[in-house]
Structure 1
Amino acid sequence: METATKSRAPHLSDTQRLAWLRLIRSENVGPRTFRELFNHFGSAQAALDALPELSRRGGKKTYRLFSMDKAEAELASLYKMGARLVAMGEPAYPPLLRHIDAPPPLLAVRAREPLQQELTGTQKTLAIIGARNCSVAGAKFATKLAGDLSAEGFTIISGLARGIDSAAHQAALASGTIAAFAGGIDTIYPKENMELFAKMIAANGAAISEMPMGWNPRARDFPRRNRLISGMSLGVILIEAAEKSGSLHTARYALEQNREILAVPGSPLDPRSVGANKLIQQGAALIQSTDDILEIMEPKISMSLPLHQGIDEPAISWPAQDQADVDETSNPLNAKEQDRQAVIDALSETPIDQDELLRFTGVTLQTLQLILLEIELAGRLERHKPNKLSLIHSGRA
């Protein structure tokens, strides 16, 4: 089934890939906004053409489009270092990642051909994460789990951090392991893991990133990276996660994405085990051996996507060819000024549910989506989970 799906999967043309890259790199466009724009206008290029006017309607006089020169330069830099840009829906795009909330439309993928597609296209994946300042016992257990699971055919995913991440990657070298980056695909972090990363690529490993080339990771980028780690995985295994560690961010994403959460218990006297122990109290599976993991994951491996009810196929029309025409009745290209003002007046700094906003204003869903795009591209809209919206204070815009 999966092979047949891959064989029918479309590929972007060079022109389309550049348009996708320009759109996701343009001002105030993130994965969710990309999807809304794409669905509304029918293609990335049509959305690009509309961005300046949309932003102007939203209240922003000048808008920064990502230039064609910069897009071509980024692609050239990727190819030069042996990486490429993979679009959601293409065969090399991680299949599980496609089913998370707001998946990245484009991923930079670096791997040794021809294993690139084989690695990122696998569905038998597990993440192993944990403390950077791990104990010897924690690193030893991570090494054993990663080695055993690799021998069982799992691809191990982690974040190339110190400690548990490094131990897991090292143990999975022979069968292939994937690192998710918080910075650009050319930015190895921490620097001390450059040798480990070189070994990963030389063997059967891969790295992915949604950030631009040359991007140095900031603190806020790591949670964004963590959603990729859990999103690519059937389950997330935590070893020595402190109470406020980044590993717990990954566990929260795993919960939202309906992934399995597995935690290794630790001493209540060790602060590095507080987070993992609390997860177990809250219902995470308690793991003491590889057999525990295999028993829990066996039913998940053969499940068809989506993994559970509640994970929907992203609402993005992914055409092999751009849609030449847009139905202006179902997807209006402009909104009436009174509708726009009604939506803006109804919004405030207090989050409101989108469905409630729709009922209150009385506009059509398509008109509301267009107006929200205008406000968001102007940098005036903030989205909150699960489906709430608020205006950003003018001092923060």
Structure 2
Amino acid sequence: MGSKQQTARLGEEEKINRLRLVRSESIGPARFFKLIDRFGSATKAVSAHPNWSIGQTGRTALRLIDRDLVEWEIEQVSKLGGRFLHICDSDYPLQLASIDAPPPVLTTLGDQALLERRCLAIVGARNASAGSCRLARRFAQTMGEKGFAIVSGLASGIDTASHQGGLESGTIAVTACGLDVIYPESNQALYREIAAKGLIITEFPLGTQPKARHFPTRNRIVSGLSQGVLVIEAALRSGSLITAGLAATQGRDVFAVPGSPMDPRCRGTNDLIRKGAILTETPDDILDNLGPAPHPVFTPREKEPPSFEVKNPGPPADPLPTSTGNINFRIENALSHTQIHVDELARELSLNIQELHAALVEMELLGKIARLPGGYVCKP
């Protein structure tokens, strides 16, 4: 796949007009590049509107977004401390520019120096087990220490654990909403930590709420930025498998951690391995294929977290327990057929040990958990 990137220094007028094209309804990346190829620049394309004729269907009636709205967005992004990254900017990542229909413009918040490093994406189940979240943090921490920036999608579960593990060495969160929208709401603190120590990326306009159709679009950036994608727990029909499929199409290595065939959350990863993904048990399995990152370990430059009002982020993905039944549900969801110590389970679920033990006694009587020697528990 050839790169759409042609490095050039854009004037302010061209930047505004490129953003007008990108923010206009029905102008996706493919049509954007057709317009640039035809007219030579966004400014000329905007001047030629509404007399556009694209493709073999003749004239296409496309409404161009008002200039005032784009200028307002530019002003607001600047107030947040963010910036726009155009595909022809010299610091736009080459890895991403090489994919099919790369995002013409990204909005970023944080340290763009992370985009110069080799990246590893770590993705997986939102309802991940506690053990797999622990594993994701360990993979992220170790690969970060080896010089990789850790990329994920800021979702609950494996994404959250991966960002946490890569926070000190450098992590990149690619979101499916506007820069001023934090989703899920439970990740507000993590979002601000990443903005202060790492990098937030989105191709969506300010104020955009997350919708189902946005996530596959987001996923192509997660895989596109990365040298490889590691999948830890994924059901047979899940967004993580979409990311893995995109990675394979983009020529990236796909790594998968095997899991119990009795756990539906592992059937997708096991199927990936069956179809040729690299069976992965330790970070060495990744390093053997990708090799070490050439850059030195990243030292994050601390700065004040951004301060802005969250716009209707939606319901929390992980509501706090309000009843014993809810606590039991969270425990059952966090357990897998791999044993975990009760102390670690308490930390994962933010429960005090007495509360956890009381719930475990009830669940054991119901046959929903198995107790093992040494204070370990797992699914029966």
**TM-score (ref. length: structure 1):** 0.70
> Aligned pairs, how many?
288
How many angstroms apart in 2 are the aligned matches of 1:259 and 1:89?
A: 23
How many angstroms apart in 2 are the aligned matches of 1:232 and 1:70?
A: 29
Contact persistence 1:83–1:110 (CA under 8 A): yes
**Residue of structure 1 aligned with 2:193, choices 171, 195, 199:** 199
Structure 1 segments (4+ residues) deviating >4 Å = none
**Residue of structure 2 aligned with 1:30, choices 28, 31, 49:** 28
User: Which runs of 5 or more structure 1 residues have no equivalent in the other structure?
Assistant: 1-5, 303-397
Q: Map 1:166-177; keep pairs closer than 5 Å.
A: 166-177=160-171
Amino acid at match of 1:253: L
Which residue does 1:75 correspond to in 2? 74
Aligned to 2:9, the other structure's residue is in SS state coil
Which residue does 1:152 correspond to in 2? 146
How many angstroms apart in 2 are the aligned matches of 1:288 and 1:14?
A: 49
How many angstroms apart in 2 are the aligned matches of 1:215 and 1:86?
A: 18
Which residue does 2:246 correspond to in 1? 253
For residues 117-154 of structure 1, give each alpha carbon's deviation from its aligned partner in whole angstroms, at most 9, with x where no partner exists.
x11232x1000000000001100110110000000000
Shift of 1:24: 1.2
How many angstroms apart in 1 are the aligned matches of 2:285 and 2:9?
A: 40
Which residue does 1:130 correspond to in 2? 124
Contact persistence 1:238–1:263 (CA under 8 A): yes
How many angstroms apart in 1 are the aligned matches of 2:49 and 2:255?
A: 43
Which residue does 1:87 correspond to in 2? 86
Contact persistence 2:231–2:240 (CA under 8 A): yes
Shift of 1:27: 2.9
Q: Map 1:269-280; keep pairs closer than 5 Å.
A: 269-280=262-273
Shift of 1:67: 1.3
Which residue does 1:119 correspond to in 2? 114
Q: Map 1:93-112; keep pairs closer than 5 Å.
A: 93-111=92-110
How many angstroms apart in 2 are the aligned matches of 1:241 and 1:85?
A: 33
Q: Map 1:1-397; keep pairs closer than 5 Å.
A: 9-54=7-52, 58=58, 63-111=62-110, 115-116=111-112, 118-122=113-117, 124-203=118-197, 205-298=198-291
Contact persistence 1:280–1:286 (CA under 8 A): yes
Amino acid at match of 1:21: L
Amino acid at match of 2:181: T
Shift of 1:89: 2.6
Amino acid at match of 1:54: W
Contact persistence 2:126–2:158 (CA under 8 A): yes
For residues 239-284 of structure 1, give each alpha carbon's deviation from its aligned partner in whole angstroms, at most 9, with x where no partner exists.
0011101000101100110000000000000000000000000000
For residues 42-63 of structure 1, give each alpha carbon's deviation from its aligned partner in whole angstroms, at most 9, with x where no partner exists.
0101112223122698466x64
Contact persistence 1:55–1:63 (CA under 8 A): no
User: Which runs of 5 or more structure 2 residues have no equivalent in the other structure?
Assistant: 295-380
How many angstroms apart in 1 are the aligned matches of 2:53 and 2:72?
A: 26
Aligned to 1:233, the other structure's residue is in SS state coil
How many angstroms apart in 1 are the aligned matches of 2:59 and 2:13?
A: 31
Contact persistence 2:51–2:59 (CA under 8 A): no
Contact persistence 1:91–1:121 (CA under 8 A): no
For residues 224-244 of structure 1, give each alpha carbon's deviation from its aligned partner in whole angstroms, at most 9, with x where no partner exists.
000000000000000001110
Amino acid at match of 2:226: S
How many angstroms apart in 1 are the aligned matches of 2:59 and 2:19?
A: 25
